[in-house]
Amino acid sequence: MKNIKLIVQYDGSRYKGWQRLGDSDMTVQRKLEDVLSKMTGEKVEIFGSGRTDAGVHALMQVANFKTNSELSTNEILDYCYRYLPDDIVVKKVKKVDDRFHSRYSVKRKRYLYRILNHPYHDPFTRKYITHVPESLNIKAMEKAANHLVGEHDFSSFTTAKSKKKSRVRKIYDIDINQEHKIVEIMISGSGFLHNMVRIIVGTLIEVGLGKMNTEEVLDILNKKDRRLAGPTAPARGLFLYDVEY
């Protein structure tokens, strides 16, 4: 049995996220599994590096599946391109070691969040960027973000319901860059809790708008209470940017 690794890009606008759902076929995982199952004549189960939420995009999602099919990697690539919807593209296919697992082998992930900081939204990019009309204080956002770098309990920055699983994660860096009216926030970490990136961004936006001061962010982190952090930023501005193994 071969272990096949895929590099996938997708526009998450019309999907209910990555993870397969029992009551809907509108997930990225389900679309991939349906195509791969037809291709191989087997019931294929595919594993992703992470479960992006409804409306979230991926510039680089990594997935793997196991198959007895004798199809070459090029044949798999061509088949996926032909039969997947236009908003999902498999960019690379590679045969990997049997021990490789797209989720459990991850060492680092990067997420990119894009903000249009301008009085008027752009009708052509509105599905891929969050519009914030009021001016943002980038230096204050950078100062607040520094409090979140390192290994912490991120209970204040997740909507995860289970209290049995650890909420400790390590953030390697948070870079905030502004070019003209586009603000990009790149967050790199060992792993992320449910909605963690979007809540971090929502909190940083509050700081940028002057609705929260930079030191409050450290207090919010230490109190481990989701109610104290900022709102969950919209999904449309978030991209799974890179996955390292």
Query: Phi-psi region for residue 182, left (φ > 0), alpha (ψ -120 to 50) or beta?
Result: beta
Please tell me the predicted confidence (pLDDT) of residue 136. 98
All domains in the chain, ordered by first residue: 2-96 (3.30.70.580), 108-244 (3.30.70.660)
What pTM does this model have? 0.94
Query: Phi-psi region for residue 8, left (φ > 0), alpha (ψ -120 to 50) or beta?
Result: beta
How confident is the model over 49-93, as pLDDT tens digits?
999 999 999 999 999 999 999 999 999 999 999 999 999 999 999
Please tell me the predicted confidence (pLDDT) of residue 220. 97
How confident is the model over 146-166, as pLDDT tens digits?
999 999 999 999 998 877 789
Is 34 annotated as catalytic?
no
Please tell me the predicted confidence (pLDDT) of residue 97. 95
First to last CA, the chain: 22
How confident is the model over 181-197, as pLDDT tens digits?
999 999 999 999 999 99
Q: Which two tokens stand for residue 31?
A: 């679309």
Catalytic residue among 11, 25, 34, 53: 53
